[in-house]
Amino acid sequence: MKSPLLISILFTSVLQATYSQQDNGVVALNLPTRNSITFNRFETQPTFSFVRESSKYFSIYAKREALTFDNAPETYLVSYSGRFKENIGAGLALFQQNYGVLTTFGGIFNLAYNLRTGVENNLTFGLNIGAYKSGLNSGDVITNHDDSSLQNITYQSITTVSPALNYGFAFLDIGLGINNLITYSFKSSALIKSNPEQAIQVHLMYTGYMRSRGFLDDSKFSGLAKVELKNEDTIYSGSAMLTVPAGFWTQVGYNSFYGASAGLGLNITKNIAIAYNYDIPFGDLTEIGTAHTLTLAYRFKNNERYKYTPEDDRYGLIEKKKRSKYLVSRTKKEAKEKIKKLAELKTKKDLDATQNKTNETILKDLAQQAQADKITQDKLIEQLEAIVISKTKDFTDLKAEIDRDTQKLNVKLKPFKSTSNETKNRVQIIDNLNKTIRKRNTKIKQIEELFYNLYESDTLYNNEVILYYKTILNRLKSEQIQTVDTRTELEHRLSEIKIATDYERRRRIERAKFKNEDESYKQGRLTLEHLKKTTILRNEPVSVDEFDTGEPQNSNIQILNNIKHTETGIYVVLAVHTDPSKRDDFLTKAIASGATNIDFFYDVKTSKYYIYIAKYDSISDANNAIKLKNKKPYNKNISLVKIEN
């Protein structure tokens, strides 16, 4: 029978300090795969199912901790993850964790999506969704008395969401993630707000290859540094791994909370691998003891050749032994077969070199065509700039003429010229420019695709060519951006000039209209004076039917504003005409009938002539005057108009 003291130690030291147990049997999700940068990487950073990954694998993982105690914490995990497409990584894991009398089991679904932002740059988005169930495993509880705290622990179903992103360079990766951003309890149907494993995680990873002629040639070195910012603690960690193509890898790690680790991995075959990791705790966790991790993995054969992170060469130890034995005991026939294979390999390299050489000829031709298109673009830009300069001068001259005329200077305005041909020419230039830009964009895209093919090639001569064509590609892109920006700016300036010119044209028209109307008013005054001097009074009065009073007026007082050459007041209006000849006919007949004091004013807004017989300062005076008016024939449609200037 195990003592209650032992259970208390397990609860206090392991659950609270290491696994962050919450109330009512809820354990925060924290899989101990933190030191691995070979298998199960997506469980520590959701983007790692894609980042620096080239194949898919299935793995079985087992870890036992706190070996100095019975019922020590254990973790079992099976997963299937890796690279599925050129831009997609994914993973699925099932796990079970036993913490003394507590147990947690569930799964994690992972998805990572990559966006290529350049030849050597990419941005990856990742997401882990975990679902698990935790609670008391009553079968493992052995105690001498009832413990109410244990009886209150029940199973709870939890789901968590952990998003992340990673930006990759040629050899570096920088990433950011939020572990357990969302933790939801199905039992309470609510979010768990105080999750001790919620943390902001920042990482920096380096991946490089060793170039030598010895045993370590093409070996891959990986280094990962992480910082986890939790609510009450900050954890620093780092891992380093060296992978040798001959069939094994080694790794070391450090975690400021959990301690140090060291591991070794072996490729039994190209597809089957086994890894062992040994953890040594620090500080308060030293009494718990060391931990041992064993991983068995199967790598699936990759039939794809990805542009980003192509698959590394690797060998299995068993296969390597067979190959060594074969080389020692080879026969003459086998030697010939090897020579044949080498010849085929040389032919393949020659074909690759020929293809790359062909691509380099095509690249050169496309670059020359793009340069020719650039010359055409520059000429069209110059023509468009000339149009902008010309339209700007036309606008400046037009505005200056109108300004001088407004200031009553003796200026003869130039007649408006037709702009239809100019508009047609401008539209044609812009259309040709847009076509050339699209054409050049297509060539630049073709150059970029061919450049990627050269960049991804394994032939050594490309290293001498890449920099040259990379410089050309960057220059072409920069020129195109500048051309598009210049076109946009010129079109914007043309639009502004058109708006300003239209405004000045309207101002000139209004100015000319004002001058014509002012001249018409003066001519009308001269005509009125002439009629008063030359019209003879008729012995027989003019009949009422002979007077055309024009537009009918209502009985209400009409109010007019801003009437030039006319004082404010109440006017007794006899007729309203828009036609000067009808105005003059009414004036002539009224003067012949004895209305020698007849007059008119002109409303420029409506182009109407108001013929009146008298003006008063008040409405009452005007009404009284109307009542006293004799019944002259020209008085048949009297109305009142008030002018307010």
Domain boundaries, the chain: 4-317, 351-513, 536-644
Residues 6 or more apart in contact with residue 154 via CB below 8 angstroms: 24, 25, 135, 136, 187
pLDDT in tens, 374-401: 888 888 888 888 888 888 888 887 777 7
The CATH fold assigned to 4-317 is Porin (2.40.160)
pTM of the full structure: 0.50
Higher per-residue pLDDT: 214 or 105? 105
- Please state the rounded mean pLDDT for residues 592-605: 88
Q: Is 610 helix (H, G, I), strand (E, B) or coil?
A: strand
CA–CA separation, 261 vs 252, rounded Å? 6
pLDDT in tens, 510-542: 666 555 666 777 788 888 888 888 888 888 878
- Residue 554, pLDDT score: 79
- Residue 200, pLDDT score: 94
- Please state the rounded mean pLDDT for residues 439-453: 82
Are the beta carbons of 113 and 124 closer than 8 angstroms?
yes
- Which of 437, 331, 325, 441 minimizes the C-alpha distance to 381? 437
- Which of 112, 129, 130 minimizes the C-alpha distance to 168? 112
| Beta sheet of 639-644, edge-to-edge order | 558-561, 639-644, 569-577, 608-616, 599-603
- Residue 461, pLDDT score: 47
**What are the residue ranges of helices labelled H in 111-169?**
148-151
One-letter identity of residue 130:
G
Q: Enter the CATH code of domain 351-513.
A: 1.20.1050
Higher per-residue pLDDT: 126 or 604? 126
- CA-based angle 93:99:101, to the nearest 5? 125
Q: Are strands 182-185 and 122-136 parallel, antiparallel or unpaired?
A: unpaired
